[in-house]
Every structure is written in C-alpha cells, then in structure tokens.
Amino acid sequence: MKASSTLIGSVQDVSGTSISVALVTDTVTGLSFHNGEAYRIGQVGSFVRIPLGYTNLFGLVSQVGAGAAPVREGALEPDSNQWLRVQLVGEKGREGRFERGVSQHPTINDAVHIVTEADLRDIYGPGDPIDFVRVGHLASADSIPALVNINKLVTRHSAVVGTTGAGKSTTVAAILTALSTAGVYPSSRILLFDVHGEYGQALADVATVLRIDPYLDRDEVPLRVPFWALSFDELIRLTFGSLNDETKAVIGDMIADRKRSSFDANPVDGLTRDRINADSPIPFSIHHLWFELHCREHQTVVPDPGGTAGDLQPAFVLDGNGQPLQPGNADRVVPPLYRMVKTTGPATERVQWGPDPINARREIGILGSRLRDPQFQFLFRPDEWSPNQDGAVTEDLDSLLSRWLGNDKPITILDLSGVPSSVLNDLVGAVLRVVYEALFWAQNLPEGGRERPLLCVLEEAHAYLSKGREGLASEAVKRIAKEGRKYGVGMMLVSQRPSEIDSTILSQCGTLFAMRLANDVDRGQVSGAATDNLKGLFDMLPVLRTGEAIVVGEAVSLPIRAMIDPLSRERRPDSADPQVVVRGDFQGEGFDQEGGWTIPLTNEKYPIVLRQWRSQSRRYVFTEGDADNEDGESG
C-alpha cells in the first residue's frame, strides 16, 4: 500500500535536469485517486512533484516506459517498463512562490508525487490579475485558467506557430482580444500586419483598420505610406530596385539636394539645413526627381539658333506647327519625346547627347513604371502627405504616426492584402523601421515605447523572414528582436512554417505558442528555439487538437498545454476552410450563401467574378446590373 495517495514512484537516476523515476507497483492500473479525483499516471506532458524539505521540485514527464529507464552498463534491456523520464523545470520554496529553474537536485529514492489540481492552481495562478491575461484553460483541468504574463509576452517577444487548420489565426485573435480589454488595459497599443486581410471583421470593435482601398461603411481608414518617410536605402529598394554604387551616390546627392531645397522653402522644427541628408524624413517631389533623371539620361540637344555659339536646346520631336509633340509632364509621369541621336552632318543639324548621363535607363524606367502603377499610389501619392514640386505637404508625419499608433482603439490593423507581392518584404521592413525609429527617439515621452509599449504582430512571417533572405523586413525584425525590449517595442511572429523563419529571429522569441505541427523539420525548429529542455513535450505537437497549444517560455511559470478560449463566429478571422460538404438545411440567400458540393447548382454569375477580379476587390457590392436576365445571364 502506498504511504500517500499522491505517491507514484521514486527517483532512481539523475542526469542534469533529467531524472528517471521508477513507478511503485500500485500504479500498474495507470490511475491514482486523491480526494475523490482520479489522476492518470504516466501521461506525457503531465507534471510531477518531488518534495525536498521545504522546497518542492516540479518536473514534466517527457517519456514513459522501458525507454525511460536509466542505461545500466552491461544490461541488455531494462528489468521492467514501469519508468518515467522527467525534465525538471522549476521549484516552489518556503515563501510559496513558484520560480523557474532549480536550486538543488533530487537524490536516489526521493519520493515522486502526482501534481494535483490544487498544486496546479498554486503554480499557474491566479497571480496578480493586472500582470496576467487569460488565453484559455489547461487542457487537463477545465477549471484552471491558462494565464500568460503580459509584461513578458509583449516586451520579450513571442511566436504563434502551427500548421494550416490548427487554429492559429483564431488563437492570435483570442490573444489580441484579451490584451485589448478596455477595463483592464485602456491604453494597450498593438500594430497588426495583416497580409491576407483576415482580421478586420473579427476585431472590428477593438481595432482601426487601415486598407489601401478602405470600406468606408466599416469606418476603415486609407493606408498611406509616404515614400519620403523612408530611408534612402529603403526608397531605392521600393523605387529603382537596385543601383550600382556610382549611380546610387549620384542619386543620393540629388535627393539630399532636393530635401535641402524643400527645407529652405518649408522649414521644420528640430532640424537644421546642415544636418539634412538623403535619409532625413523631409518631403520632396519624387515625380520631379524622375523627370530630371529621365531627361538627364534620354535628352538629346541641338545648337540653339537664337543663342550664342555653343548654346544648346532640347531636340524634341516636333509636330506640324514646329512645337514639341510631347514635352513631358512630371506630375503625370509623361516622358518627353526626343529626336534620335545623329552625330554627323552640319553643326546646325547635329544632335548630341544631353549632359552627364548616368547609364541607368533601366532603373529609371522601373521608377517611372511604378510611379504610373495604380497599385503603388498609396506610396507615391499618399493623399495629404503628397509633396508638391516645392516639397510642401498638407500633413506632416506626426499625423501619420497618430493614425498608426495613436488611435482611440487599442489595435491598428495594417491590411496589406492590396500591396503588390514584389514589394511586400521591403514595405513591411520600412514601416517597422519608421515605427521603431519614432518610438526610439521618443522613449522618454508619454507617446514613446517606454511609457506606452507597442506590440507588433507579424502575420505570415515566413513570407518575408525566410532563411537566407536578406531584406528590409529581416533587418528591421532583427533589430527589434535584439533591441526592442529596452525601448518598449515587442513583436509576435505568426507562421505555419517555422522552419522557414530565420533561426536567429525565432530564437529571440521568449514565449512560444506551439500548435499542431506534423512536419519534423518544423517541430525541430520550434524545439530548438524553446528555452526549456522539453523535447518530449514537443513530440506531442502532431496530435494536438484544433485550438490546442503548448505554451512555453518566459510568459508562463511552467509549460502549459492549453485549450485556447474559442471565439464567437462573428469574431473569428476570415481564415476558415471552405466546406466541401455542407450538412443541414440550406438557408443562404444571394451572394452570402455557403456553397459546397452537396448544394444544387444555382445560376452562377461569372461576369460579376470578372468585375471583382478587375477591380481587385474581394468585397461584393450589389448593383442593378447584377440582376438576372431572362436568359440566365447577368446584366
């Protein structure tokens, strides 16, 4: 008979933080009863308690059976399969406070006990309700909340990883909803980079949505990123693509000169002319810069018949009245038409190259193409932040920062679903850098990160933080990962392929929410990034239920296997799998109906599909022309 209803075995081997426990014979059924409650023994991921005087050590079961037995020299196989392998994770001393790590190790024959629900309640909370936020409940005890420390979660960075369909987006929405609770955190500040436009509707009551083409009936706000707020290198990546060093230096000097001229015409506080360079966030007209570069590269000239010897004038293509057929227009990004180069003939007819070409026709052409592209107008014609020819703007960057960081709602969603994929990486990096720089220099102000920390949530992080991919996003995230804690800027990475994320970045995440992962490489990346020796726990990742997560790291006292609190249907992100088979009575009407292969085919309206495709909008707005005609075609 066991001396205690909680006793399950004894320590027989100690190796660092790993110990082997021999089970007592009474546990052969796999059940132990304590105060009327039944506890399963030998469950991977469960906890055990080892009393050592006034101190209780706590460990996590990582392996069960003969493989958990200590290796004996000369023994061919273990003498039984009644063994547990346990990883020590923390202790609770005389003060009654649980702490990670252990100050002493168990010795041979020390008793090992199950961890009861009362023990779990002591370990996991409730703690100070201000410091902890609930994200769900323990998978093994519905009555015990899964709490995470908000200070460690925000400033020490975190990651939410899991395969498609594991409930990753819903988990993120649940965490952000908890962090934006008005009565508890009225000044919370979260910036969500939403690559696929999934969260706008789900978080509508606590978030301001910025979209390139906003839905005005949802009170969304236009997303604008002024090009002149970017650093010189960021601007080059988003405009020219790449430049050789010589050309880059010439264009850098031209931009710096334009910014100085803009400053002369429109002085700003906190800056002097001699400190302005190509990186300074000063407005200037990029359209007129393009026009000057195009003329410099393409212009041909002829002698000016009305001038003195050696005077030249542009050699435009002329119309029938002797006027330039297309003199060009900088604001409308229309290039001038010049005559073909002719270097022979009389001096009065000879056509020569314009002065100082920089041999960058291809790159200048790319800039012109992007300036004309409607998809890039949020960047190059950013409404009230658009500079005129003299660099004057209606609004300065303070109003932009207020729109991004100072909303009356705790969450700001940057919906990037309309951003061209070719510049997504660089745009995310540029926005992160602008935000970080602003909060860095304002660190001692009430608006700064020290007084009001910021959490940046990066959805689909693997899309722009992949291994070996050097880009603006990777540079900005690495800087935040290394330095952000000191200045109140935290990040949360969200990815279905953690193995594709740069390991340097993932290893900086102090807290991991690991959901179902079937891929061995992904599991290995997560296990390697965790701060605890919990390989056995992460071996459970392939069999986690939808909405279930293993939470490890600095924001939790002990690793938690938790069921994330479910959200109501209207608060779930727009990321659910389409239903191939729809059960029950079909009640849908119009264009909100749910289809599936079990629903009788209705009158499909592909002209409307074409309209949505051409307009690059996923939101359907009914028009009178969409009513069915007698022949079944849309009008």
In this prediction the pTM is 0.85
Overall average pLDDT of the 308-321 stretch: 83
Q: What percent of the chain has pLDDT over 90?
A: 43
Per-residue pLDDT at 25 exceeds 80: no
Q: How confident is the model over 479-522, as pLDDT tens digits?
A: 999 999 999 999 999 999 998 888 888 888 999 999 999 888 88
Q: How confident is the model over 189-218, as pLDDT tens digits?
A: 999 999 998 998 889 889 999 999 888 778
Q: What is the pLDDT of residue 590?
A: 39
Q: How confident is the model over 75-105, as pLDDT tens digits?
A: 555 567 889 999 898 888 887 778 888 889 9
The confidence band for 632, taking pLDDT boundaries of 50, 70 and 90, is: very low
Q: What is the pLDDT of residue 56?
A: 92
Residues 409, 449: one domain?
Answer: yes
Q: How confident is the model over 274-293, as pLDDT tens digits?
A: 999 999 999 999 999 999 99
> The domain containing residue 34 runs over which residues?
7-124
The confidence band for 1, taking pLDDT boundaries of 50, 70 and 90, is: very low
Per-residue pLDDT at 309 exceeds 70: no
Q: Based on the structure, what is the number of domains in the chain?
A: 3
Q: What is the pLDDT of residue 67?
A: 83
Residues 461, 505: one domain?
Answer: yes
Q: Does residue 290 lie within any of the structural domains?
A: no
Q: Does residue 32 lie within any of the structural domains?
A: yes
Q: What is the pLDDT of residue 274?
A: 93
Classify strands 83-92 and 55-64 as parallel, antiparallel or unpaired: antiparallel
**What region does 11 belong to: left with phi over 0, alpha with psi -120 to 50, or beta?**
beta
CB 411 within 8 A of CB 180: yes
Q: How confident is the model over 132-147, as pLDDT tens digits?
A: 888 999 887 788 888 8
Can you tell me which residue has the tokens 């400033």? 155
Overall average pLDDT of the 579-587 stretch: 61
Q: How confident is the model over 532-576, as pLDDT tens digits?
A: 566 667 888 898 999 999 998 889 878 888 999 888 777 778 766
Residues 115, 173: one domain?
Answer: no
Residues 110, 16: one domain?
Answer: yes
3-state secondary structure of 541: helix
447/162 Cα distance (integer angstroms): 34
Per-residue pLDDT at 106 exceeds 90: yes
Overall average pLDDT of the 29-45 stretch: 73
Least confident residue range of 216-225, 369-378, 381-390: 216-225
The confidence band for 584, taking pLDDT boundaries of 50, 70 and 90, is: low
Q: Does residue 596 lie within any of the structural domains?
A: yes
Q: What is the pLDDT of residue 589?
A: 38
- DSSP H helices in 6-111: none
Q: Does residue 261 lie within any of the structural domains?
A: no
Q: What is the pLDDT of residue 78?
A: 59
Residues 436, 495: one domain?
Answer: yes
Residues 106, 39: one domain?
Answer: yes
485/483 Cα distance (integer angstroms): 6
Last residue of a domain, one of 124, 153, 174: 124
The gap from C-alpha 211 to its chain's centroid, in whole angstroms, comes to 16
Q: What is the pLDDT of residue 47?
A: 87
Taking Cα atoms as reference points, which of 163, 195, 194 lies closest to residue 176?
A: 194
Q: Does residue 545 lie within any of the structural domains?
A: no
Residues 14, 100: one domain?
Answer: yes
Last residue of a domain, one of 103, 124, 145: 124
- The dihedral formed by the CA atoms of 301, 306, 307 and 309, expressed in degrees to the nearest 10: 80
Q: What is the pLDDT of residue 591?
A: 38
Say which amino acid occupies 565: D
Residues 184, 101: one domain?
Answer: no
Q: What is the pLDDT of residue 601?
A: 74
Q: What is the pLDDT of residue 592?
A: 41
Q: Does residue 607 lie within any of the structural domains?
A: yes
Q: What is the pLDDT of residue 63?
A: 85
Residues 192, 94: one domain?
Answer: no
Q: What is the pLDDT of residue 390?
A: 92
The contacts of residue 232 (CB under 8 Å, 6+ apart) are 252, 255, 277, 278, 279
316/337 Cα distance (integer angstroms): 6
Q: Does residue 389 lie within any of the structural domains?
A: no
Per-residue pLDDT at 181 exceeds 70: yes
Mean pLDDT, the chain, whole residue set: 85
Taking Cα atoms as reference points, which of 94, 84, 99 lies closest to residue 21?
A: 84
Last residue of a domain, one of 456, 479, 511: 511
The confidence band for 594, taking pLDDT boundaries of 50, 70 and 90, is: low
Residues 118, 13: one domain?
Answer: yes
Q: Give burial (CB, 10 Å; 0-12/13-18/19+) of 7.
A: middle
The confidence band for 588, taking pLDDT boundaries of 50, 70 and 90, is: very low
Q: How confident is the model over 210-259, as pLDDT tens digits?
A: 999 888 778 899 999 999 999 999 999 999 988 999 999 999 999 999 99
- Give 3-state DSSP helix, strand, coil % of the chain, rounded to 5: 30, 20, 45
462/10 Cα distance (integer angstroms): 45
Taking Cα atoms as reference points, which of 529, 562, 565, 564 lies closest to residue 124?
A: 562
Overall average pLDDT of the 368-397 stretch: 95
